[in-house]
Chain A
Amino acid sequence: MTVYLLRRILQSLMVLLAMSVIVFVGVYAIGDPVEILISPDADQMERERAIAALGLDLPLWQQYLVFLQNALRGDLGRSFVFNEPALQLILNRMPATLELAFGAMFLSVLIGLPLGLYAGLKPESIGSRVIMAGSILGFSLPTFWVGLMLIMVFAVQLGWLPSSGRGETVQILGLHWSFLTANGWSHLAMPAFNLALFKISLVIRLTRSGVREAMLMDYVKFARAKGLSPARVTFVHVFKNILIPVVTVVGLELGSTIAFSVVTETVFAWPGMGKLIIDSINVLDRPVIVAYLMVIVLMFITINLIVDILYSVLDPRVRLESKA
């Protein structure tokens, strides 16, 4: 087990290192930051001073080594635009993104589970057909367009919800959170629902197929034969068993929810990491792009590592196979 663990961690570190090379070369080798950052009116002296200050005069491999050295100390460069440490900038925006992502995950379970349960218990009813058709639509609808339509209906036409921003925030542990104020909730509702749409469809389908399978199991037949009420069979016996795969999948989707929040944040002007990265790509603020990609890559590699380790704990075949 220890050997497997060490090998798996080493593998993750290799991937991380490889990704850092790809990200660095990709961002620094293509395009010329000098053109963008230094005013065209600047004379030769000023240009050279600025290039030296940004470390852009060194050869690429040397720039990479400096970058790697600094990265290990938690320094991913200073933003060209904000003139702040890039990592700091990303981490400051992270709570907003995490709030949005967790809000979306919560909504997807809250809405998806009951609908999926209904569709699984009464697969032939009209309501179930509507739910399943809705879930196909949920997979097909482009997220950003749904976001725009939500704004059009709830913000412009009805005026119920604000169209952008985060609203009032409360400071806890030095971080700003908007889910603790009523105003913050009204700002969070639409973006979280928009981001959740795809996951709701996923949860509906998972729950439905889980319920349909569970209903045929012997323990359900036994519980019924014992004379338990249908409500008890559904909510205690069936529900507990379908919850495991649903929670697992929703947990696994956390990473992709954070990645897809780029789109939702842009639509609703939500001040998270995703909005920052799009703005940074548009002005070629390289340190921020690199810092964002490294943070996200690190996050993904960690999630994948934890999932793999959990699997190997639960299923001995995985670690035996990797030895062979």
Chain B
Amino acid sequence: MSDTTAPAPVEAKEETPFRRFVSEFAANKVAVGGLLVFVTIALLAIFAPWIAPQNPYDLAQLDIMDGRLPPGEVGGTGITHWLGTDDQGRDMLSGIIYGLRISLIVGIGSAIIACLVGASLGLLAAYAGGRTDSFIMRLVDLQLSFPTILAALMILAFLGKGVLNVVIALVIVEWAYYARTVRGSALVERRREYIEAAQCLVLPTRRILFRHLFPNCLPPLIVIGTIQIARAIALEATLSFLGLGVPITEPSLGLLIANGFEYMLSGNYWISFYPGIALLITIVSINLMGDHLRDVLNPRLKK
């Protein structure tokens, strides 16, 4: 805008839907705040080994004499424990940063897989129609009629604990939301002329589905995906807290909270408190983005 001498192609670029989307998203300060917080958390998680004061998995670095130090104390290893230590003498700040890693990997990973599975089945249901459609939607209805926690509990009772099993459980619990969303928008889109045109050109079905139909079903999918990531992170934490989630060797935020449970009754609040705050900030920042994305991407609210 400021550069009036810019060549025509650049000005054309300003008009792309993506640009419009970015500028509309940036208009809401709360959503941008949520994004910034989330990016910070993600960076912390990615660069955990360089940022965390201590490697919480390396037993050689731990001193049991530092166990349950309150926040701000300096331990025997010379590290200031800003958020205190747990019963093993593990620095809570480091534990939280590494725990964020597990929580984010499980949450985002399961959301992406569930999205792929659910979106494919939803597209198939909408495009094929008939028996395929009613079969897939019957499955979706069945899945959605059971509370997520119950379905996840059932799957983990079958499969046992472990990071991979938690991801499988989360995918099975969540795919139905994506399938229903994609089917809904695909049913509308498939009646449009461009799909008819593609069919007249006798393009392969797979190409029509994924290159033509799918990109136009993306906006609602992004909204659902954002909210589902937050839900997946919360559910993983809950399952880990119940002792059915990730193993004790790679604690996620939920497991850190569970570890502090028994010490809380004797007044050592920080072991459970700070991982919970980290979990809360993560979930709220994602939800704030999701809430605003829903407004930006909702075509009914477009002028």
Residue from B154, B242, B265, B279 in contact with A145 in the complex, judged by beta carbons closer than 8 Å: B279
Instruction: Select which of B146, B276, B283 is within 8 A of A148 by beta carbon.
Output: B276
Closest A residue, CB atoms, query B235: A142
Task: Decide if A262 touches B242 in the complex (CB within 8 Å).
Answer: yes
B241 within 8 A of A: yes
A242 interfacial contact with B, CB 8 Å: no
Cβ–Cβ < 8 Å partners of A219 in chain B: none
Residues A143 and B153 in contact, CB atoms below 8 Å apart = no
- The number of inter-chain residue pairs (CB within 8 angstroms) is 100
Q: A149, B287: Cβ atoms under 8 Å?
A: no
A278 to B242, alpha carbons, bound, how many Å? 7
Interchain CB contact under 8 A, A26 and B157 = yes
Tell me the residues in window 253-297 of chain B with beta carbons closer than 8 Å to chain A beta carbons. Answer: 254, 257, 260-261, 264-265, 267, 269, 272-273, 276, 279-280, 283-284, 287
A296 to B150, CA, bound (A): 9
CB B86 to nearest CB in A, in angstroms, measures: 15
* Chain A 141-178 interface 0/1 with B at a Cβ cutoff of 8 Å (1 = within): 11111001101100110000001000000000000000
Question: Given A26-B157, A27-B157, A156-B265, are A148 and B257 neighbors across the interface (CB < 8 Å)?
Answer: yes
**Contact status B257-A30, CB under 8 Å:** no
With a 10 A CB-CB cut-off, give which of B160, B237, B238, B254 has the most chain A CB atoms: B238
| Chain B residues whose C-beta falls within 8 Å of the C-beta of A266 in the assembled complex | 241-242
Complex Cα–Cα for A242 and B45 (A): 46
| Size bracket of the B interface | 35 or more
List CB contacts (< 8 Å) of A106-155 with chain B. Answer: 136-137, 139-145, 148-149, 151-152, 155
The number of chain A residues touching the other chain, given as a range, is 35 or more
Given contacts A142-B283, A148-B272, contact A260 B147 (CB under 8 A): yes
Q: Chain B contact residues: over half helix, strand or loop, or mixed?
A: helix
Q: Answer whether residue A246 sits at the interface, using C-beta atoms and an 8 A cutoff.
A: no
A141 to B243, Cβ gap below 8 A? no
If A142-B234, A255-B147, A256-B147 touch, does A151 touch B264 (CB 8 Å cutoff)? yes
Which single member of A27, A140, A155, A156 contacts B230 (CB below 8 Å)? A140
- A69 on the interface (CB 8 Å rule)? no
Return the chain B residue nearest A286 by Cβ.
B157
9 interchain residue pairs of minimum CB distance = A26-B158, A145-B276, A256-B147, A259-B147, A259-B150, A140-B283, A144-B241, A281-B157, A140-B284
Which residues of B approach A to under 8 Å, CB–CB? 142, 145-147, 149-150, 153-160, 230, 234, 237-238, 241-244, 254, 257, 260-261, 264-265, 267, 269, 272-273, 276, 279-280, 283-284, 287
